[in-house]
A and B are shown apart, each in its own frame.
Chain A
Amino acid sequence: MNTPIIELEGLTKYYGSVKAVDNLDLKIDKGEIFGLLGPNGAGKTTTILMMLGLAEPTSGNARVCGINATSDPIEVKRRVGYLPDSVGFYDGMTALENLRYIGRLNGIPDDELEERATTMLEIVGLQSEMHKKTAAYSRGMKQRLGLADVLIKNPEVIILDEPTLGIDPSGVREFLNLIHQLSRQQGLTVLVSSHHLHQVQQVCDRVGIFVEGKLLVQGDIETLSRNLFGEENYVVVVDVKESLSDAWEHQEAALKLRGVQHIQVNNNTVELSCNEDVTPDIVRFFVQKGLNITGVHKKEFGLDEIYHRYFENNQKKNVSNGKSDSVFKKYFIRRNG
């Protein structure tokens, strides 16, 4: 059995009376890519800072590579590479110089340094730009240089805080593939925090959903969706030309189809929740009943759905949201009146 490389126990952080991180327990195994998902201000960065010993937890402890991050941050930082959410470089220096500086701070001997820095720049695909001043770098290039910067110290764990922020879609894909590849090749443990679900979904082995300082769920995406949506793993939405009344005449018959659990009729769409994929049967059924189908699509439960489900539940509790709603209405009505 693997021993966890990152182990958080009852980690709690208060800012004044505000709870940023609330009694967090988390274990991440070696070689895993873990996605920490949550909206802005959920406490992701605070958690990461506590793992690196850059912030002090109010209570609980964080162990990284078996070392307590609060009492011995230097040892942790030797083994962990951290890419902050908006990384900056010394503008007056070239990419290579920036990298060499970090390498030196990590105690890499000078005779190895040059070669290692160049190799890292090649890995992230910046070899042709390494003598350019970083002031001229684009956001995506900076992010890649940041990755080189993280890798040069040969870390066991890399922590990326919102690594995809502000990069264009193709850049994001490249970047994430690179991380995935590196993690697999070198057995790196990767912790990615993000609020972009699709992107993280592509590369993560496991994800944890983090809202208001609490880790709501964790697990791989399949397990998560099964837990959350129960049996209704597939939802087929059929659009028809005719408007259907709420009391749909064929509802009884449709429910008798194999696998169909639940039906919801909405003007001219029918949503069927099933526990197995029976889309062809459903289409055949609709055709037999003489309905004009304009579109059929199958909803898959990706992170988006999971995320939304959680936020729906979460926002119901949120009083301030209702308040802003009423302010909006008041304003809206006044303008119309």
Chain B
Amino acid sequence: MFRMGNPIVYLRNILSGETDRNVSLAPAATSPFWVMVRKETGDHIRSWRFIVMLSLILLTFFGSLYVSVGNIAKAVTNIKDPDHNFVYLKLLTTSDGSLPTFHIFISFLGPLLGIALGFDAINAEQNNRTLSRLMAQPVYRDNLLLAKFFGALTVVSAMFLCLALLMIGGGMFITGVRIEPVEVLRILAFVILSIVYVGFWLGLSIFLSVIFKNAATSALTTIGIWLFFTIFYRIIVSVIINAMVPNTDYLSQEQIVSYNNMVLGMLRLAPSQLYTDAATTLLMPSIRSLGPLTMEQMAGAIPSPLPFKESLMIVWPQVTGLLAATAVCFASAYYFFMRREIRS
């Protein structure tokens, strides 16, 4: 089993791309899988494209945080809002409309991050002719795919976690308000959700990097898929709905609800929709349902924040959907890669 030894030494070694004897605190040799993960992580951290993506995300993060800090006083004192007590969640979700909130930014920057880290995972190895050399080592083939995925995901997780902690720390510093445990849980859940979301795009781009021999082709294809879901998918759905749904004046309420559900169901085929749905629910505790609610369901409900567990129950299908989509991408990458002949 892999042992990190001293984590600080370990990190320093990753950052400098060096490994000296300090690392050999672990007596036994590390398994090839972790060796590969370590190399991938190191490669990503030192790569330009990660630095570019990181600065983009940092920029949006600070931008949205700046706007929300400016409006936090108004949001927290708004008694009509049942969520007004959650200062830190408000920090993540408040905006005056000049800038989107952070999770909206992530819903379209996250895919780009995943694509940037994965689009040339396999085909670059092939084009550099390192793949055949690597495959001649006593390494399982699936370990390579998994290491590519894990390496990139490690970097992404570290980044999101750092940002969240930075936000909490900064919030404490600025507002001086104590953070509620439930807020920590919600923010943590949001971080995990974001990682899963980026993981889906990472899986997709790794899959396409297995299929396409050319890194540019695979990058363009993934970006094409991403553009399709962010821009065109909504348009297509609305066109279809307009063609299908009769004039609403002649519909019963039940029919309206069922059509509404259909629209939502179609929109939820887009991963970004799943992500925004889930992220909003996690960050705004008062959201009770992601679908339409009937009058009977609403009757007697007091507008109050839901407990964390209930919010989690609401987003469960979304998270499962994202995980399933990731698994499909990954399984297909396996299918195409495992039996392929590696020629240089």
Contact = CB atoms under 8 A, between A and B. Distances in A.
Interface of A: 45, 49, 52, 54-56, 74-75, 77-78, 80-82, 84-93, 97, 100-102, 104-111, 114, 146, 149, 153
Contact of A45 (B31, B35, B343): B343
Contacts of A102: 133, 137
Interface string B16-38: 01010101101111111001100
A86 B343 CA distance: 10
B39 interface: yes
29 contacts: A49-B342, A54-B136, A54-B342, A56-B339, A74-B139, A77-B138, A82-B132, A84-B133, A85-B344, A87-B133, A88-B128, A88-B133, A90-B130, A91-B128, A93-B17, A97-B17, A101-B35, A101-B39, A104-B30, A104-B32, A105-B139, A106-B32, A106-B137, A109-B27, A110-B19, A110-B24, A110-B29, A111-B21, A146-B133
Interface string B45-71: 010000000000000000000000000
A92 B46 contact: yes
B140 interface: yes
- Residue from B46, B339, B344 whose CB has the most chain A CB atoms within 10 Å: B344
Contacts of B43: 90, 92
A32 B133 CA distance: 24
A48 B137 CA distance: 14
A111 to B, nearest CB: 5
Nearest to B23: A110
Interface in B113-149: 128-130, 132-140
Contacts of A80: 136
A272 B205 CA distance: 69
- Residue from A107, A108, A114 whose CB has the most chain B CB atoms within 10 Å: A107
- Residue from A93, A102, A110 whose CB has the most chain B CB atoms within 10 Å: A110
Contacts of B36: 105
Nearest to A89: B130
Contacts of B134: 105
A54 B138 CA distance: 11
Contacts of A106: 32, 137-138
Contacts of A93: 17
A54 B339 CA distance: 9
Nearest to B21: A111
B42 to A, nearest CB: 9
Contacts of B138: 74-75, 77-78, 105-107
- Residue from A92, A102, A105, A153 whose CB has the most chain B CB atoms within 10 Å: A105
Interface string B321-344: 000000000000000000101111
Contacts of A85: 344
B234 to A, nearest CB: 40
Interface of B: 17, 19, 21, 23-24, 26-32, 35-36, 39, 43, 46, 128-130, 132-140, 339, 341-344
Contacts of A97: 17
Contacts of B342: 49, 54
Given A49-B343, A92-B46, A110-B24, A105 B130 contact: no
Contacts of B136: 52, 54, 77, 80-82, 84
B38 to A, nearest CB: 9
B46 A55 contact: no
A104 B140 contact: no
B107 to A, nearest CB: 32
Nearest to B129: A88
Nearest to A78: B138
B131 to A, nearest CB: 8
A298 B276 CA distance: 84
B35 A104 contact: yes
Contacts of B28: 109
Given A78-B138, A107-B29, A107-B32, A87 B17 contact: no
B24 A109 contact: yes
B14 to A, nearest CB: 13
B129 A109 contact: no
Contacts of A54: 132, 135-136, 341-342
B21 A114 contact: yes
Given A52-B136, A77-B139, A88-B133, 10 more contacts: A77-B136, A82-B132, A84-B129, A84-B136, A87-B344, A88-B129, A88-B344, A104-B29, A105-B32, A106-B137
A88 B125 CA distance: 9
Contacts of B17: 93, 97
A110 B13 CA distance: 13
A300 B343 CA distance: 37
B122 to A, nearest CB: 14
A146 B134 CA distance: 12
A77 B137 contact: yes
Nearest to B341: A55
Contacts of A75: 138
B148 to A, nearest CB: 14
A56 B339 CA distance: 9
B344 A86 contact: yes
A90 B42 CA distance: 13
Contacts of B339: 56
Given A45-B343, A54-B341, A100 B129 contact: no
Contact of A74 (B26, B128, B132, B140): B140
Contacts of A89: 128, 130, 133
Contacts of A84: 129, 132-133, 136, 344
Nearest to A142: B129
Contacts of B29: 104, 107-110
A90 B339 CA distance: 24
B133 A149 contact: yes
- Residue from B24, B26, B39, B138 whose CB has the most chain A CB atoms within 10 Å: B138
